[in-house]
């Protein structure tokens, strides 16, 4: 079940170009959100690593996102903080630029108020449109944990919109 890189890795040339055109900007944006200094290089390296593999991956999109995440965190290794979350590394000059491209100010503020752990899963699920299984592969956590984080993010969002909701006040 091995696939030589000399073979056409993505079916046809046109399919590969279309997939690259769809995913490359998203991966650059994703790397930039992690505060990568060279997000374009990281996204391109992720593609090269994917095409270099002899054994095809089951979920290439998840593989690319996971590789970009790992490379972005590795680029920041001198900070000695590999467990940082998506928003924890947001720098005003870089990550905010990525947010501005996708989200408006109100949405960005709602995302900022979420817990960083939940925010990362929520971003991948809603904004990037990835599936639960893909997110579990990217973050290297079980699918049940991804669902839990997303549901807790949803609860926090509801709490933001209706702070007094569900609270019984004795008169």
Partner 1 sequence: MSWSDPARRFEPAEDVQLRAELRDLLGLGAPVAVQTVEPTPELKALADDLRREALRRSRTQRQRPSWGLLAAAALPLLAALAGLGNWGIQQKHRADELTVQAQRQEQELTRLAASHATEVARERQAKEEVQQKLQLASRKSSPKTEPYLVIPVEKPLKGVSDDYQRVKQKP
Q: List Cβ<8 Å contacts ≥24 apart for 129-133.
A: 130/61, 130/62, 130/65, 133/59, 133/62
Give the integer Cα–Cα distance in Å for 112 and 167: 24
Structure tokens given for 87: 């928003």
Q: List Cβ<8 Å contacts ≥24 apart for 144-150.
A: 146/121, 149/117, 149/118, 149/120, 149/121, 149/122, 150/118, 150/121, 150/122, 150/125
Shortest Å, Cβ 138 to partner 1:
12
Sites for partner 1 among residues 105-144 (CB under 8 A): 106-107, 110-111, 122, 125-127, 129-134
Q: Is 145 in the site for partner 1 (CB under 8 A)?
A: no
Q: Which stretch binds partner 1 (CB under 8 A): 30-38, 69-77, 84-92, 98-106?
A: 98-106
Q: Is 28 in the site for partner 1 (CB under 8 A)?
A: no
User: 77 or 106: whose CB is closer to partner 1?
Assistant: 106
User: Of the candidates 1, 2, 6, 171, which one interacts with partner 1 according to CB under 8 A?
Assistant: 6
Q: Calculate the CA dihedral of residues 114, 115, 120, 126 and round it to 10 degrees.
A: -30
User: Of the candidates 31, 60, 66, 95, which one interacts with partner 1 according to CB under 8 A?
Assistant: 60
Q: Which residues are near partner 1 by CB under 8 A? A: 3-6, 9-11, 15-24, 44, 47-48, 51-52, 54, 56-57, 59-62, 103-104, 106-107, 110-111, 122, 125-127, 129-134, 150-151, 153-154, 157-158, 161
């Amino acid at each position: 079940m091995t696939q030589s890189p000399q073979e056409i890795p993505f079916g046809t040339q046109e399919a590969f170009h279309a997939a690259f055109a769809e995913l490359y900007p998203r991966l650059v944006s994703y790397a930039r959100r992690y505060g990568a200094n060279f997000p374009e290089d990281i996204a391109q390296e992720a593609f090269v690593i994917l095409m270099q593999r002899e054994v095809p991956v089951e979920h290439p999109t998840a593989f690319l996102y996971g590789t970009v995440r790992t490379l972005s965190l590795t680029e920041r290794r001198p900070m000695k903080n590999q467990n940082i979350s998506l928003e924890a590394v947001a720098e005003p000059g870089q990550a905010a630029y990525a947010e501005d491209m996708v989200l408006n100010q109100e949405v960005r503020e709602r995302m900022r108020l979420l817990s960083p752990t939940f925010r990362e899963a929520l971003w991948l699920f809603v904004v990037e449109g990835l599936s639960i299984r893909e997110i579990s592969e990217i973050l290297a956590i079980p699918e049940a944990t991804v669902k839990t984080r997303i549901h807790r993010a949803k609860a926090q969002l509801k709490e933001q919109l209706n702070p007094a909701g569900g609270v019984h006040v004795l008169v």
